[in-house]
Structure 1
Amino acid sequence: MLHIFKNGRLLAGTLPFALATAPFPASAEALGESEEGAAEERGEAITVTGVRQAYRGNFAVSEIPQSISEIDAKVLEQNGIQRLADALDLNASVVRQNTLGGLWDAFAIRGFTGDENMPSGYLVNGFNGGRGFGGQRDTAGIERVEVLKGPAAALIGRGEPGGTINLVTKQAELGRTFGTAAIQYGSWDRVRGEADVNLAVTGGLTVRLIGYAEDGDTFRDHVHQTRWGFLPSIGLALGPDTRLTYDLEKTRVSVPFDRGIVVLDGNFDTVPRSRFLGEPGDGDTVARAEGHQLRLDHQFSDRWSLLVGGSIRDTLLTGFSSDAETVASRQALYTDGRSLSRQRRSRRYDARHYAIRAELAGEFETGAFRHRVLIGADYDNFDYKQLFLRFRPPALSTNPSEQQGYVIDINNPVYGRFPLPIGPAMMDRTDRQRSIGAYVQDQIEITDRLQVRIGGRFDHLTLETDNRLTSQNSRRTRSRFSPQAGIVYELSDPVTLYAAYGQGFRANVGTDVSGNIFDPEQSESLEAGVKLSLLGGAITGTLSAFQLTKNNVLATDPDAPGFSLAIGKARSRGAELDLAGTLPGRVEVLVSYAYVDAESRSEMVDPNTSFALRPGDALVNIPKHNLNMQVARTFAFGEREAQIGAGVQYLGKRRGETGSDFMLPAHTLFRVFGKVDLIENVELFGSITNLFDKHWYANSYSPLWVTPGAPRTGTIGLRAKF
């Protein structure tokens, strides 16, 4: 977020998103020449107290040859959204994936996800923040969610070709004191409190304290959750041209591990959506995270700036779970329709991730051409230890007893019936990923309407695996250059055309049967589109088309069951439309639609399910059609201000298990929300999701691991501001 002060007084509120990426102090382009000129005539100093975002440079969104969507704090607040997964539902290009029983965030952008045995990676203020096992991200402390689609790997590196999520957190705003506090009550006795207080300690030092706590049941039987977080930020002005920012993340999530429901023979009413088929005696799985970020932003002149920073994040996930056995030869449910054979698992996933990065942004001219450049380098280190124990029921051919099969009756579950089994270690391994990267980007303004972007990134990657079960150590290094190119042409004031191309890669985790670390996935991205600015800029949006391909997807080794090879191929192509803005009459609109055709492009066996994949098979959990629309209107309610809004999401049918014919049905969900000022600076707010109480399913790994969506859910609360 970018704010402008003159002589310590706030000059403007939050600037539009296109300006919020500009360096500071603000140039005439960021402030507007008339505003800056008037300030200069009065001899007033102009200081920008915000933080420039990495990888972005001084560009309006319309100048970037890439589709970018934003979900800001206002939209999150309107909808009563507290989870990143729910926030990403508002953008149709992003769909949910396997979330490890609700313990991490997993999503696909434009049809591609990463390793489904790891949480999806995302950025926090330009630093990798999604790696590790800290639980599902809460939206407290988030200023906006940026969905950066398309070929961005030439700058960011090591990512999926579909795009990247960047979370911009709420920063300490220098020279201001303000705050909000809210308490709310929701369905299933869920209680939540949160606060955000920005305190100007001195003229150049500000502390922003953000925290939340939540406790309550869920619509799932025996699933009670507790979560809290402390997310402070400290901003320090080291002079008019330099700012130092420190952010802390301290969070904890405690919730039973929950694989969801079972679906027999395509019948989604096999059990009620509330039925818990795990074991309450397993207790909670606990996910903890502690992260630190330190960033220094310095402006050399109105043309050149430097951003230097570092981050370190420790996460730990521990707990037990009782999960349905997915192998048919071990599953009694397929013989009598009610006796569910279960595994029991123990996890201790411990990860540390730290990164250092620096970026120089600036502009210059060569003859008639204007150049805007980004030059950067980073070092990234990710270590994680996995200790995984598993008990499995024996094969049905051995005629096991119910205790040996760790069976539960899905129609009449009796918990605690058998002693809790403990299995042997299936994994005891430490993986290390270290990379050094450097990138450069130059966007050249050829004419007033035509701009060309060229750039690339070089990465040197070191992968190490220490397998304590086999006493085998593996190490591999890889280097790769990822190029990018783009073009932007302003056809008219409201219409800008663009096209982009990029390459990238992502490290595969683990080794083959010989102990050799897998080759990284390699990707190629093509994108073209139109950026729109309608009704004088009141409505902005992007219409785009894309095609993505990647190689070295993990597949089962046919000569070594239980091991994998990096030989698979996949492709995704489609089209998207994103529109947002405000119509006359204070009517806010948001429209997001995506058509995605994501499929396997090689014949392979999935390493997780052992099912065969054929060319043309759709990828799991990826619908072809996804639509989200929302409208909200602000109006006077007596002498008070009020707002009411509604939204709808349609998600098409999609494959629920890799390599099989199991499909999750399409669903359409409606939501309503509103707020009204009770007295000055105090408002009553509320929301209802799944208004018509539809049965829907968020994602699936197999017919025996299906995550049901929540029924009708209501929330009401009070929010005070000062």
Structure 2
Amino acid sequence: MTIRSRKHHHVNHLAALIAATLPALATAQTSEGENGVDLPEMVVTSKAEVPYKADRSANAKLTQPLLDTPKTVQVIKKEMLREQGAGSLMEALRNTPGITMQLGENGNTAAGDTFMMRGFSTQQSTFVDGVRDLGAVSRDLFNLEQVEVVKGAAGSDIGRGASSGYINLISKLPTLSDEIFATVGYGTADKSNLTADINRQLGDNAAFRLNLMRRDGDVDGRDQVDNSSYGVAPSIAFGLETDTHLYLYSQHVRQDNTPDGGIPTIGMSGFYNANAALNAGAKVDSDNYYGSKGDYERIDGDMFSVKLEHDVNEALTLRNLSRWGRSNNDRLLTGINALSANGSSDPADWTVARTRQVVDQENQILANQTSLSASFDTFGLRNELAAGLELMSEKQLNRSYATAAQTIDGVAYPAVSIPPANLYDPDAGDALGDPYKTGAYTDGETRTAALYVFDTLHLNAQWALNGGVRFEHFRTETDSVAITSGARVPGSGYESGDLTSWNAGVVFKPLANGSIYLSFANSMTPPGSGNFALVANSASSSSNEQEGLDAQETRHVELGTKWDLLDQRLALTLAAYRTENDNQVSYDSFTARYFQEGKTRVDGVELGVVGQITNFWQVSAGVAHMHTEQLDQFSHRASTGVTSENSGVRWSPELTATLWTSYSLGDLTLGGGARYVSEQDRVITSGTDLSTENMPQIPSYWVADAMAAYRLNENVNLRLNVYNLFDEEYIESLNNSGARARLGMPRSAMFTTEFSF
């Protein structure tokens, strides 16, 4: 006898009742057997939860278990993140191959979570409970149940963009239990972490949950750089274990950090400078700080959500999610750029130029999603359907600052004094001027109305068809002020249109615990999708954000197989794919104009394994190999008249791999892992002599981590995490000119005490 129910609380009570009556039933069977009556054997089965492995996505748009979903989906659960001591989204994403981090453009340093996935920029495709999450912010994990990574073109899932997939963060919500989980941690660089997860049942069908976070401390291996943040996330739920349940929840995060502009790349492998003296220069100390004590980064983030769910019956569920969210990022950072020997052969006289960069950005989102999930039969064939309506308004305001001397509307602004730093002995106490507000800004908004439907049609026990379509109407409006010839000039931009995104797949199940699939999907990226900043259409502009341009279209095909092994404790996945993005702006040297003919192609293979090898041995691992190239992608430099062809895609390593595993020996748990990233190209121009290019690529690297935990009793667990166990020095991210780099964290440690009640 197998007991199944969505109301697990009731199942537990029922299973306990059955277990308690088993001795009596056995006695009764013996007694009845003596009278010639045979009772059927009763067997209670219960599938134990596997700490690392998830069987389903929390996203209702994915109608099938992960085993039968025809796309690559990785669920990173909180149990594994807890073992790793991970606190940020970027740390969580190290558990999936094919993702690399970015530092920023030549004149700027990127803010917040910035990363590439399968050859495409993905930071604008981060979602919380299926709602887009805007803002140049670094996201914390304290209020997350799990992180879901969906790979491949996913326009039908989430709308515009999503060329290579998206990240969906699943919030913690109240449950019918009384539990407290708290952590107190202290580590190298005077880092301290405090978190608390408090869940309380309120009556039979209501519960309250409160998640708290406080982090503070310096950054290992860096002078002057520090981070400080706190977060509060209250939530309350009504109607749990009934047909109608209501969740009210919010999250509030405050960050006060000293941002890091990185260090010069002089002396590193691949460094080049035309000045022979500089070209032979030694590396700077990795802890050198080239900024000012006045540098700061202050981030405020707030979101309020209301989710209502109603189970009409066992086969039909209705949902509505409403959210208002906002974030503010106020940031002043000192960047570094060109080196100068100042006519001296003495390195003590060498300097590096500095820039002062400001990010003054406000983001706001208002969203409402209404959806349903249904199961039904059509002509004897089972259907599992998800459909919905999404309405959304997204706004972003960016204010501009400057440091150069100029006259604007008759007002003279003197140059801001930004003296260079001594290359090998920078002084954070140097007096650096603050950029001034010019009055220029870009204020953009995108409004979206979308309808979608997904369905899985089961032809028989072995074959199923999976498909979906999304119809989306968008309107992007930009209001701006630019500085032109010493005057503030207002401007505007407008783009409106309809997008159709789709996915289709066929799934074959040779055995109940395995599947083989072939899937197709697309996504659409209209101008202004990423930053809400439209520019006037011009044949001389290389921008993909011009009004009137066709939307870029990404097409994706994937062939894969998934297997649940070892009594469904271990999931094995393998997928091969091709992704092509069309309609990128490219330069035609014959007509001396830009047009949409560029293309990016990514071919790859990805292997993943997650789950339990034994009851005591957990593992999560992945390997990804990809080849990226740009086709018909030409750029033109007006200052030199040179037209060049881009062949590859920056920051897209051919091979990435990740591993985390742990083994329990009674109360002692030992764990560890490693991650590998092969070379990442910075210079992607065909025919370029790399020997005369500065830092043409990021060298390959691998990093190992270790963990040991000991459970003192049922309430207290002690854990030690050691990061970069072998103290590998490596470049984590490099800017687009190769002038500055951010090194990976050196060997460091965090000791954490976990309390559970």
TM-score interval w.r.t. the shorter chain? Answer: 0.7 to 0.9
Contact 1:178 1:199 in 2 (8 A): yes
CA RMSD of aligned residues (A): 3.2
Letter in 1 for 2:326: D
The equivalent position to 2:507 in structure 1, one of 466, 480, 488, is 488
Amino acid in structure 1 at the alignment position of 2:355: Q
Q: 1:633 to 1:304 in 2, by over 3 A?
A: same
How do 1:658-677 residues align onto structure 2 when only pairs under 5 Å count? 659=685, 661=690, 662-677=696-711
Match of 2:467 among 415, 433, 454: 454
Q: For residues 117 and 550 of structure 2, what CA distance do their matches in structure 1 show? A: 22
Contact 2:708 2:719 in 1 (8 A): yes
C-alpha distance 437-585 of structure 1, shift in aligned 2 (>3 A): closer
Aligned to 1:582: 612
8 A contact 1:261–1:707 mirrored in 2: yes
Equivalent-residue separation in structure 2 for 1:393 and 1:273 (angstroms): 34
Aligned to 1:600: 630
Shift of 1:10: 9.2
What is the match of residue 643 of structure 1? 669
Kept in 1, the 8 Å contact 2:635–2:645? The answer is no
Q: Calculate the TM-score normalised by the size of structure 1.
A: 0.85
Figure out how many residues of one structure are paired with residues of the other and give that number: 664
Q: What is residue 377 of structure 1 aligned with on the other side? A: 389
The one of 470, 475, 479 aligned to 2:498: 479
Task: Check conservation: 1:606, 1:658, Cα contact below 8 A.
Answer: no
Supply the distance in 2 between the matched residues of 1:719 and 1:557 (Cα, whole angstroms).
61
Residue 56 in structure 1 maps to residue 57 in structure 2: no
Shift in alpha-carbon separation, 1:474–1:120, aligned structure 2, 3 A: closer
- Equivalent position amino acid for 1:603 in 2: Q
* Alpha-carbon distance in structure 1 between the residues aligned to 2:303 and 2:603: 36
Q: What CA distance in whole angstroms lies between the structure 1 residues aligned with 2:160 and 2:302?
A: 23
Give matches, 1:240-279, under 5 Å: 240-264=242-266, 266-267=268-269, 270-279=283-292
Q: Which amino acid aligns with 2:552?
A: E
| 1:122 equivalent in alignment to 2:140 | no
In 2 relative to 1, CA 3–333 (structure 1 residues): closer, same or farther, beyond 3 Å? farther
Describe the shift of the 1:714–1:657 C-alpha distance in structure 2 as closer, same or farther (beyond 3 A). Answer: farther
Query: Which of 223, 230, 245 is the aligned partner of 2:232?
Result: 230
- Post-superposition Cα deviations, 1:526-585, rounded to whole Å, max 9, x if no partner, equal 1110111222222112100111111244668999x9x99766421111000010111135
Cα distance between partner residues in 2 of 1:721 and 1:514: 59
1:499-538 correspondence to structure 2 within 5 Å: 499-509=518-528, 510-514=533-537, 516-517=546-547, 519-538=550-569
State the match for 2:198 in structure 1: 197
Q: Which has the larger radius of gyration?
A: 2
Go from structure 1 to structure 2 and tell me whether the alpha carbon gap of 1:8 and 1:700 turns closer, same or farther (over 3 Å shift).
same
Query: Partner amino acid for 1:309?
Result: L
Gaps of 5+ in 2: 1-5, 17-41, 47-55, 272-281, 407-414, 483-488, 539-545, 691-695
Matched with 1:43 is: none
Q: Higher mean Cα deviation, 602-611 or 151-160?
A: 602-611
Q: Secondary structure at the match of 2:9?
A: strand
Residue 593 of structure 1 and its aligned partner are, at CA, apart by 0.4
Deviation of 1:300 after TM superposition, in Å, equals 0.8
Please tell me the residue identity of whatever aligns with 1:668: W
Tell me: CA distance 1:64–1:419, structure 2 relative to 1, closer, same or farther (3 Å). Answer: closer
**For residues 180 and 347 of structure 1, what CA distance do their matches in structure 2 show?**
37
Q: Which residue of 2 aligns with 1:213?
A: 214
- SS of residue matched to 1:77: helix
In structure 2, the partner of 1:110 is: 118
SS at match of 2:156: helix
Could you state the TM-score of these two structures normalised by the residue count of structure 2? 0.82
Which residue does 1:622 correspond to in 2? 652
Q: Please, which runs of 5 or more residues in structure 1 have no aligned partner?
A: 13-32, 38-50, 395-401
Q: CA deviation at 1:230?
A: 0.8
Bigger mean CA deviation after superposition, 653-662 or 347-356: 653-662
Deviations 1:240-297 (A, max 9, x none): 1111112211001111222211113754762222111222223x11111001111111
Residue deviations 1:201-244, cap 9 Å, x none? 22222111001101111121111211111122211117711111
Partners in 2 of 1:333 and 1:525 — Cα distance? 50
Aligned to 1:40: none
Change (3 A) 1:493 1:223: same
For residue 188 of structure 1, give the secondary structure of its aligned residue in structure 2: helix
Assess if the C-alpha contact under 8 Å between 1:446 and 1:452 holds in 2. Answer: yes
- Aligned in 2, Cα 1:186/1:265: closer, same or farther, shift over 3 Å? closer
Q: 1:108 to 1:257 in 2, by over 3 A?
A: same
Alignment deviations for residues 173-204 of structure 1 (CA, whole Å, 9 cap, x no partner): 0x211011110001100011111000112222
Query: Can you list the C-alpha shifts for 1:388-421, whole angstroms capped at 9, x where unaligned?
Result: 2132599xxxxxxx99663111211133434415
Q: What is the CA-CA distance between 1:305 and the residue it aligns to?
A: 0.8
- Single out whichever of 199-208 and 336-345 deviates more from structure 2: 336-345
Paired with 1:513 and 1:492, the residues of 2 have a C-alpha distance of 56
Change over 3 Å in CA distance of 1:333–1:437 after alignment to 2: farther
Letter in 2 for 1:647: G
> What is the identity, as a one-letter code, of the residue corresponding to 1:461?
F
Question: What do residues 429-471 of structure 1 show as CA deviations (whole Å, max 9, x unaligned)?
Answer: 1011111111112211111100011221111110111012231
2:276 alignment counterpart: none
Look up the match of 1:45.
Answer: none
Q: Separation in 1 of the partners of 2:731 and 2:242?
A: 52
Q: CA deviation at 1:53?
A: 3.6
2:424 is the counterpart of 1:414: no
1:705 aligned partner: 740
Instruction: Tell me the CA shift for residue 690 of structure 1.
Output: 0.4
Q: Deviations over 1:319-372 (max 9, x none)?
A: 2122124xx6xx646987732112212221011012111111112212232111
Matched AA of 1:691: L
Matched, 1:465 2:468: no
Shift of residue 675, structure 1, vs aligned partner = 0.8
Deviation (angstroms), 1:610:
11
Amino acid corresponding to residue 262 of structure 1 in structure 2: P
Residues 1:611 and 1:677: Cα distance change in structure 2 (over 3 Å):
farther
| One-letter code aligned to 1:694 | E
Q: Which amino acid aligns with 1:277?
A: Y
The structure-2 alpha-carbon separation of the partners of 1:372 and 1:611, relative to structure 1 and needing over 3 Å to count, comes to farther
Cα deviation, residue 35, structure 1: 7.1
Structure 1 pair 677/369, CA: closer, same or farther in 2 (3 Å)? Answer: same
Q: Which amino acid aligns with 2:135?
A: G
Task: Note closer, same or farther for the CA distance 1:177–1:565 as it changes in structure 2 (3 Å cut).
Answer: farther
Give the alignment partner of residue 99 of structure 2, picking from 88, 91, 94: 94
**AA partner of residue 197 (structure 1):** I
1:617 aligns to what SS in structure 2? coil
In 2: Cα distance, 1:244 partner to 1:611 partner: 62
- Kept in 1, the 8 Å contact 2:400–2:438? The answer is yes
Alpha-carbon shift at residue 588 of structure 1 (Å): 0.9
Q: Which residue of 2 aligns with 1:84?
A: 89
2:625 & 2:343 partners in 1: Cα distance?
40
Contact 1:602 1:613 in 2 (8 A): no
Deviation at 1:600, TM superposition (A): 1.9
Partner of 2:722: 688
Q: Is the 8 A contact 2:732 2:744 kept in 1?
A: yes
Whole-angstrom CA distance in 2 between matches of 1:205 and 1:534: 38
Q: How far apart are the structure 2 equivalents of 1:242 and 1:609? A: 65
Whether contact under 8 Å (1:544, 1:577) holds in the other structure is yes
Residue 742 of structure 2 aligns with an amino acid whose one-letter code is T
Alignment correspondent of 1:171: 173
Q: Structure 1 residues 3, 622: closer, same or farther in 2, change over 3 A?
A: farther
